Amino acid sequence: MILPGTPSQTIGPFFAVALPWPDGPDVVPDGTPGAVRIGGRVLDGAGDPVPDALVETWQADPDGRFAHPDDPRGPATSGFRGFGRCATDAEGRWAIRTLKPGPLPAPGGGAEAPHLDLSVFARGLLNRLVTRIYFPDEAGANAADPLLASITDPAVRARLVAVVEEDGLRFDIRLQGDQETPFLAI
């Protein structure tokens, strides 16, 4: 039996009455050794900030394990939540505090470079947009990553790699335009 799926609808402009959690951006608590700040801005096709977006992240722990029983290697024991949620502010800014994930085994004996999966919801988005964040200090692993390798234009590929800044890593999400973020079909 295959049941027809429930369609997506926009999150609308008023989700802040329910979805933001005080600890949403804290994938790990303040003061966690090795924690990194990852954040940026969500911008529309005119380059204007999107002040009513919700960004969610999902990732493995530093050992490349997930807090989830469907990981065929068994669930992680680290207690790492793996999930982040942050609404954008008036300037379109979002940020989370997390630990860098480990690499993951890929089918065929290769490896996926450390990455976060990311969902973007907003007024004007009738379905979520999905993308990935990769790490700038992983040039070798990134070069061998199957998803990055599937993107032929190096300038486009580079948009999935976060940029080092003084206080952490920056990852801007451009919904539309010349510097559009590559979004993924899952």
Partner 1 sequence: MPGYRPEDPGTHPPLDFPGYRSTRLRHPHQPLVPLPHRLTEVTGPLLGSERVGETDHDLTVQHAGEPLGERIVVAGRVLDGDGRPVPGTLVEVWQANAGGRYRHDGDRHPAPLDPNFSGAGRCLTDTEGRFRFVTVKPGAYPWKNHPNAWRPAHIHFSVFGRAFTQRLITQMYFPGDPLFAHDPILHSVPEAARDRLVARFDLDGTVAEWALGYRWDIVLRGRQATPLEDEDDDR
How many residues sit close enough to partner 1 to count as binding (CB under 8 A)?
73
Write the interaction track for partner 1 spanning residues 77-96; mark x where CB under 8 A is met and - where it is not: ----xxx-------------
Residue 17's CB is within 10 A of a number of other CB atoms, namely: 6
Reported as type and span, the H/E element at residue 130 is strand 129-134
Question: Which residue, 33, 43, 48, is CA-closest to 94?
Answer: 43
Tokens of 166: 């003084």
For partner 1, the closer of residues 69 and 109 by Cβ is 69
- Residues numbered 117 to 176 that lie near partner 1 (CB under 8 A) are 117, 119, 121-130, 132, 146-147, 150-151, 175-176
Question: Which residue, 123, 173, 95, is CA-closest to 16?
Answer: 123
Compute the least distance from the CB of residue 78 to partner 1, in Å.
14
At residue 18, the 3 state secondary structure works out as coil
Residue 21 near partner 1 by CB under 8 A? yes
For partner 1, the closer of residues 143 and 156 by Cβ is 156
Compute the least distance from the CB of residue 38 to partner 1, in Å.
15
Residue 90's CB is within 10 A of a number of other CB atoms, namely: 8
- Residues numbered 24 to 83 that lie near partner 1 (CB under 8 A) are 44-46, 48, 50, 52, 56, 58-60, 66-72, 81-83
For partner 1, the closer of residues 18 and 166 by Cβ is 18
- Quote the DSSP letter at residue 100: P
